[in-house]
Amino acid sequence: MIGTREDLIRRNAWRLGLIAVAALSIRGGRAEADSSRTRSSRIDRLLVTVLREGVYLFDLKGQVLWSHRCEAYDAAEAGRGQVLITDRSAGRVFTVNRGGEKVWEKAGLQGPVNAEPLANGNVLVVENDSGRVLEISPAGDTVREFAGHRTPFDARRRSNGNTVVADSANNRIVEYDALGRKIRETGGLKFPNSLFLLPGGRTLFTTYSNGTIGELDAEGTLVWEKNIGGTLYSVEAEGDSIWVAEGAGGRVLRVSRDGVILQEIKLGKVFVDVSFCR
């Protein structure tokens, strides 16, 4: 190899889509008790997925801290300074480090649209085409499967082992226990497409078709639902407020539970997913 590794990275930074790698602040350690990403109290960065461009890490002022150029549909923090990326078009999920190097990959998937790192080291993958949610080990083996959904878009794991699925085209949210048995479902939600798991078995969700944010209690009963409008992709709670991504408008909103906009961040890009980083 000619030159040092650092020289090679600098010469090829434009291809990798690396922007200010030194500023990347994806914190170490594996995912915590569930896949709802509740590791600290405050959200301070936004991991944004843009079709045909790649993944960008923004601060809350809308400034790019880091990026990785690739085909991507979804991205999430994976711990240890790594990012878990879902490539729907190629049927794979993979992990890159902050230098843009691939460190893990699972290929041969059927339209994956979401992947979440789990506390046990496995990855929870949503296959939109097959309707399955798969738990995949680091060795690439499927260790658990939840089937029977129609174009699902999100799935999360509670700390008690339950798995919650946004069964989008069936207009419902389904919850399975740790043994894979369906224990409850909530229908009539008009294409729920994003989930965030709250304490006590509660669930925040967004609807794609209706432009709403809502909450289910531990029994799956709809507690409230507010219309925000736009094309909503991601949701996460922070204290008494809620963060939501409005992808078609290229903006991220922090709203009250009454639906009042408290903060707006314009990113200047139309995107398909945001992971809220703490």
pLDDT in tens, 243-278: 999 999 999 999 999 889 999 999 999 999 999 999
DSSP-based three-state secondary structure for 213: strand
User: Whose CA is closest to 166, among 113, 108, 117?
Assistant: 113
Taking the CA atoms of the chain, what radius of gyration do you get in angstroms? 18
| Confidence band, pLDDT 50/70/90 cuts, at residue 40 | low
The 3-state secondary structure of 54-85, one letter per residue: EEEEEECCCCEEEEEECCCCEEEEEECCEEEE
At residue 206, does pLDDT exceed 90?
yes
Question: What local confidence, expressed as pLDDT, does residue 148 receive?
Answer: 96
- CATH code assigned at 261: 2.120.10.30
At position 184, the amino acid (one-letter code) is R
- What is the DSSP secondary-structure string of 119-166? TTS-EEEEETTT--EEEE-TTS-EEEEE---SS--EEEE-TTS-EEEE
* 112-113-115 Cα angle (round to 5): 85
How many domains is the chain built from?
A: 1
Q: Quick one: pLDDT band at residue 41, thresholds 50, 70, 90?
A: confident
Range of the domain at 207: 5-277
pTM for the predicted model, two decimal places: 0.86
Q: What is the pLDDT of residues 140-181, one digit of tens each?
A: 999 999 999 999 999 999 999 999 999 999 999 999 999 999
What's the mean per-residue pLDDT of the chain?
A: 88
Statement: residue 68 has pLDDT above 90: yes
